[in-house]
Amino acid sequence: MGIWVELGIFVLALAFGLWQIQDVKKAQAERLRREAEERESQARLDAAKPPEGLVKPPQDKE
């Protein structure tokens, strides 16, 4: 009977480990998705700004 208790504990530990691995993979995928969105939004902001060397200062009208 003791072997069944040990086997049950092993199965529970294995199930818990697999569940944790699944959670880690989900968290990594979410982090990668969020970082990709941040890079994309930063690229859009950079594309919207004119290059610094080409900005003309305002001309005074006198």
Model confidence at 50, in pLDDT bands (50, 70, 90)? low
What's the pLDDT at 10?
97
φ, ψ (nearest 5 deg) of residue 32 = -65, -40
pLDDT of 51 higher than 70: no
Averaged pLDDT for residues 5-30: 97
| Mean pLDDT, range 23-27, rounded to an integer | 98
Higher pLDDT, 24 or 46: 24
Q: Which two tokens stand for residue 28?
A: 């990594």
Q: How far apart are CA 14 and CA 17, in angstroms?
A: 5
Is it the case that residue 37 has pLDDT exceeding 70? yes
* Pairwise CA distance, residues 10 & 47, whole Å: 55
